[in-house]
Amino acid sequence: MATIQLHSDCPISATLVSNKFIDEYMADANGEFVKVYLYLLRHLGNHAFELSISAIADNFNHTEKDVVRALKYWERMKLLHIEYSPDKTLSGIHMYNIDCPTASSDSLQENVSGQEDSVLDASALERSGFENSGFENSAFESSVEKVPEASNITPIRKKEARKNYTLDEVKAFRKDPNISELFFIIETYLKHPLSSTDTNTILFWYDSLHFSPELIEYLVEYCISKGHSSTRYMDKVAMGWHENNITSVEEAKENAAIHSQAYYGVIKALGISGRNLVDSEIAFVNKWSKEYAFDLSLIQEACSRTIAATHQPSFEYTDTILSNWYKNGVHTLEDVKNIDASFSKTRKNTSGNTQASSTSKRNRFNNFEQRDYDFDELEKMLLTTSVQ
């Protein structure tokens, strides 16, 4: 296939990316999804380029199903709308202006920056199986986050469901010396003035979640130490603490220590690399470390046994081991050794009894009773008896 040269009369070219996309959407999206979205922005209104599913897939060395998955994700996030022809094949993609408050899936008349929609090749999407794509065989699927279900709240809706504090209300909060000092400390951590969104989020923690200023300060410090400086990420951590009934700095520190040790300990013991744990796997780790209250050494021992038995990471198999230990009152590695010894002894006795029973059966006729002979007497009789 001949190569296509892209050219323009303008010597300088650039792609405009909304700050809102960077601040609110990019951090939570899989990196491959972000690539597809930026690629769409790159070619928005570029009529000299024939955009298609296959072209996007080839550019990133993905399958066409991978590209379709990314498109469906961004449609769920309300950043674009997939358009169909009467025969239910894709005919175009409408890119929303996310900086415009009226942009939504129900208003298709707004175009991004006044530019026309990018039209994708319908036959390519048809070949990729858009309507019935299960993605079971896509290697790309296993390395990405699960796309939120329709019941989940998108970031914008989540913010809209919360109270938006007015300037007068914010001023009233700032009259409290503790809150005023808290804002100053957070601005120092973030190295920039708080935006209205930041302010609303912090007041939500204080006013609705009932976090103390000390706990909020530690929350910001903790997230910054993990390399996350967005209040959006901090808000997720805050919601997690709230769900776990964490109300003090001491409880937050204890939770952080347990989660960090158990989380990375399990990853290392199971030999997982190149990805983070998914929600279902994190739930297992929390179950073992919090509900069962197992030490990391016990959890890692179960992980090691899992690898030895299955030769691959299996949280279900590890959970079976740890659940059995929990039911048997195991608390230390010494308890595990005792259980192993008891099991080994029981199995040996059972094996011995089974072997003896099997040997006995092999030496008997089913319908005749065995006879017992005194071979010494028989030999004596043979020696003293003369042969005629």
Residues 34 and 121 in one domain: yes
Residues 227 and 262 in one domain: no
Bigger pLDDT: 242 or 362? 242
DSSP letters spanning 114-137:
GPPPBPPPHHHHHHTTSTT---TT
Residue 253: what pLDDT? 85
Residues 95 and 114 in one domain: yes
In terms of average pLDDT, the best of 35-49, 176-190, 331-345 is: 176-190
Residue 130: what pLDDT? 46
DSSP 8-state assignment for residue 177 = H
Domain presence at residue 300:
yes
Domain presence at residue 135:
no
Domain presence at residue 26:
yes
Residue 323: what pLDDT? 93
Domain final position from 212, 247, 282 = 247
Q: Give the tens place of pLDDT for each residue, 291-332.
A: 888 888 999 999 999 999 999 999 999 999 999 999 988 888
Bigger pLDDT: 313 or 388? 313
Answer whether residue 80 shows pLDDT above 80: yes
Domain final position from 316, 333, 350 = 333
Answer whether residue 226 shows pLDDT above 60: yes
Bigger pLDDT: 90 or 228? 228
Residues 234 and 273 in one domain: no
- Taking the C-alpha atoms of residue 301 and residue 288, their distance in angstroms, rounded to an integer, is 12
Residue 279's pLDDT band (boundaries 50, 70, 90)? confident
Residues 322 and 265 in one domain: yes
Domain presence at residue 154:
no
Average pLDDT, rounded, for the chain: 75
Residue 383: what pLDDT? 66
Share of the chain above pLDDT 70, in %: 68
Residues 301 and 324 in one domain: yes
Coil/strand/helix, residue 241: helix
Count up the domains in the chain and report the number: 3
The CATH number of the domain holding residue 37 is 1.10.10
Residues 46 and 64 in one domain: yes
Domain presence at residue 345:
no
Domain presence at residue 97:
yes
Bigger pLDDT: 188 or 14? 188
Q: What is the mean pLDDT of residues 129-143?
A: 38
Residues 123 and 176 in one domain: no
Orientation of helix 213-225 relative to helix 177-190, angle to 10°: 0
Q: Is 64 within 8 Å of 72 (Cβ atoms)?
A: no
Residue 363: what pLDDT? 54
Domain presence at residue 199:
yes
Rounded alpha-carbon distances, angstroms, from residue 374 to 67, 189, 362, 371? 87, 97, 22, 10
Residues 42 and 83 in one domain: yes
Residues 117 and 85 in one domain: yes
- Domain extent at residue 210: 161-247
Q: What is the mean pLDDT of residues 376-383?
A: 66
Answer whether residue 125 shows pLDDT above 70: no
Domain presence at residue 366:
no
Domain final position from 219, 247, 275 = 247
Q: Give the tens place of pLDDT for each residue, 87-105.
A: 777 778 888 887 764 444 4
Q: Report pTM.
A: 0.38
Q: Is 270 within 8 Å of 281 (Cβ atoms)?
A: no
Residues 26 and 115 in one domain: yes
Q: Comparing C-alpha atoms, which of 29, 136, 27, 43 is closest to residue 93? A: 43
Residues 243 and 274 in one domain: no
Burial 272-306 (b: 16+ CB within 10 A, else e): eeeeebeeebbebbbbbbeebebbbebbbbbbeeb
Answer whether residue 384 shows pLDDT above 80: no
